Amino acid sequence: MSLCLVTLLLFINHEDIQMNNANWAMRAQSVLPAGGFGNFDHSVFIKKGSGSRVWDEQDNEYIDYLIGSGPMLLGHGNEEVIDVVQEQISKGMTFFANNTAGIELAEQIVDAVACAEQVRFVTSGGEADMYALRLARAYTNRNKIMKFEGGYHGMSAEAQMSLAPSIQANFPNAVPDSAGIPASVQDDMVIAPYNDKETVKALLDEYGTEIAAIIVEPLQRIIPALPGFLSFLREECTQRGIVLIFDEIVTGFRLAYGGAQEAYGVVPDLCTLGKIIGGGFPLAAIAGKQSIMAHFDASVVGRDKFLMQLGTLSGNPVAAKAGLKTMEILKRPGNYDTLKAHGVRLQKLFTKHLTHHGHPHQVVGEPELFDVLFTSNPVIDYRSANQANQDKSKRFNHTLRTHGILKSPSKVYPCLALTEADFEWTEQAVEKAAAELNK
């Protein structure tokens, strides 16, 4: 075949790919509001993943630091996970009844997570957070919820208060982040600044007898708790009869096998888990003290205190099998050390090249989950994080993607599948992106 013909065929193939992507975008726009699922950049269409990499519909290859927004900690297409999933699929995909895989998964969670005496499965993290708040209200017979400005806890009405407020309201006033939420929800929310003991203490002194729960991400998005802050919350909740909820949808089985509770040494009353425990399939859970979880059992608490919960796919056996195998692999010796080492290496290469090219910045978070913020000021809460140069972050992330790095706009998720070639590719991309920020 002549060189001219090869060139022509490659050109035609490239044009076909471009047209195919535009066609999918048009089709999405006609049937999906805003042309997407409400998650990641709607212009990106991922068609496959393998190990640490993904490919889009235009056959662009990326090192994947998005990893499905966190679940794919082993990487894509892990053979051991696929084997157990295929075995279960051949036996049945869902039953709306108890199954042994779900019970085994619950046993493993109870064994691993300090606060977990019992477990109730749901399908999504947001659903788990919603039920955790409802449990706390049933248990305490109180209505108010304290959450922290900028904390993400799903899509319920309570969670959509002061998640990403466009105005800086005075604490404890809640700012709704979504239309369609009754104004009455605001009255039951107490919003506090993360990492601020004095303000939290003052708000608890004022509203403490009305507060059912404090819900907190022990690593808020990427912002670590200051020393003593989580233990302060634990002490205050114990003294005031408030349920402490750790939202560990992200941190569970990521910061350590026992999650943030193990990593930070503070045990809540309830926690919510997701992402990793489903091995890439839709599965989440509420876990906690038996005395609180008993409100899922009418025979124990009576009809008046019973919290109804059901879901068509709750405890799905395929997801449970995938989660069990994922957790088994994570528990093997050395895997958490490897994950942490990967994260430390990535943090260092970001710092190396951004510093070399003269960009004031901070790497914020833990090695297992972090991002770069372009600011010289301390980042301890939502407002200080929001003061970072957002435009610079957008340009940096965009340039990284053009050089084959796929990441969230606000997070870097390392995974165990990363290879030496991935680190070399990543370093080249970061160096180029850092240099291009000066243009």
CATH number at residue 322: 3.40.640.10
Q: Please tell me whether residues 160 and 289 are part of one structural domain.
A: yes
Residue that is last in its domain, among 330, 348, 369: 330
What is the H or E stretch that residue 246 is in?
Answer: strand 243-248
Q: Is residue 347 left, alpha or beta, with left meaning phi > 0 and alpha meaning psi from -120 to 50?
A: alpha
Range of the domain at 23: 1-39
Distance CA 413, CA 368 (A): 7
Query: Which pLDDT does position 81 carry in this prediction?
Result: 98
The whole-angstrom distance between residue 159's C-alpha and the CA centroid of its chain comes to 14
Q: Please tell me whether residues 269 and 412 are part of one structural domain.
A: no
Q: Please tell me whether residues 146 and 247 are part of one structural domain.
A: yes
Query: Which pLDDT does position 120 carry in this prediction?
Result: 98
Q: Please tell me whether residues 159 and 88 are part of one structural domain.
A: yes
DSSP secondary structure string, 270-319? Answer: EEEE-GGGGTTSS-EEEEE-HHHHGGG-HHHH-GGG------TTTT-HHH
Query: Which pLDDT does position 202 carry in this prediction?
Result: 98
Average pLDDT of the chain is 94
The pTM score is: 0.94
Q: Please tell me whether residues 254 and 288 are part of one structural domain.
A: yes
For tokens 């009418």, what's the residue? Answer: 298
Residue that is last in its domain, among 281, 303, 330: 330
Q: Which of 188, 247, 269, 381 is catalytic?
A: 247
Greater model confidence, 85 or 15: 85
Pairing state of beta strands 243-248 and 211-216? Answer: parallel
Q: Which of 144, 275, 321, 325 is catalytic?
A: 275
Q: Which of 62, 65, 152, 382 is catalytic?
A: 152
Torsion from C-alpha of 50, 429, 364, 381, nearest 10 degrees = -90
Q: Please tell me whether residues 156 and 210 are part of one structural domain.
A: yes
Query: Which pLDDT does position 1 carry in this prediction?
Result: 52
Query: Which pLDDT does position 17 carry in this prediction?
Result: 54
Q: Please tell me whether residues 133 and 186 are part of one structural domain.
A: yes
Query: Which pLDDT does position 8 carry in this prediction?
Result: 43
In the predicted structure, residue 18 carries a pLDDT above the cut 70: no
pLDDT band per the 50, 70, 90 thresholds, residue 399: very high
Query: Which pLDDT does position 166 carry in this prediction?
Result: 86
Distance CA 71, CA 6 (A): 41
DSSP strands (E only) in 307-436: 362-366, 369-373, 405-406
pLDDT band per the 50, 70, 90 thresholds, residue 293: very high
The two structure tokens encoding residue 57: 């519909």
Distance CA 196, CA 213 (A): 17
The CATH number of whichever domain residue 356 belongs to comes to 3.90.1150.10
3-state secondary structure of 191: strand
| Range from 19-28, 71-80, 251-260, 395-404 carrying the lowest mean pLDDT | 19-28
Q: State mean pLDDT over 424-432.
A: 98
The two structure tokens encoding residue 36: 């997407």
State how many domains the chain has: 3
Q: Please tell me whether residues 237 and 138 are part of one structural domain.
A: yes
Q: Please tell me whether residues 235 and 290 are part of one structural domain.
A: yes
Annotation marks residue 152 as catalytic: yes
Q: Please tell me whether residues 226 and 368 are part of one structural domain.
A: no
User: How many residues make up the chain in this entry?
Assistant: 439
Q: Please tell me whether residues 359 and 252 are part of one structural domain.
A: no
Q: State mean pLDDT over 95-108.
A: 97
3-state secondary structure of 240: helix
Residue that is last in its domain, among 269, 295, 330: 330
The two structure tokens encoding residue 20: 């195919």
Query: Which pLDDT does position 19 carry in this prediction?
Result: 61
3-state secondary structure of 169: coil
Counting other chains too, the contacts that 103-112 makes at CB distance below 8 Å and 24 or more residues apart are 104/320, 104/324, 105/277, 105/315, 105/320, 105/323, 105/324, 105/327, 106/285, 108/324, 108/327, 109/273, 109/277, 109/285, 109/287, 110/287, 112/253, 112/257, 112/258, 112/259, 112/327
Q: Please tell me whether residues 259 and 138 are part of one structural domain.
A: yes
Distance CA 84, CA 323 (A): 10
Query: Which pLDDT does position 7 carry in this prediction?
Result: 45
In the predicted structure, residue 15 carries a pLDDT above the cut 80: no
Distance CA 426, CA 44 (A): 20
Tell me what percent of the residues of the chain surpass a pLDDT of 70: 96
Q: State mean pLDDT over 44-68.
A: 96
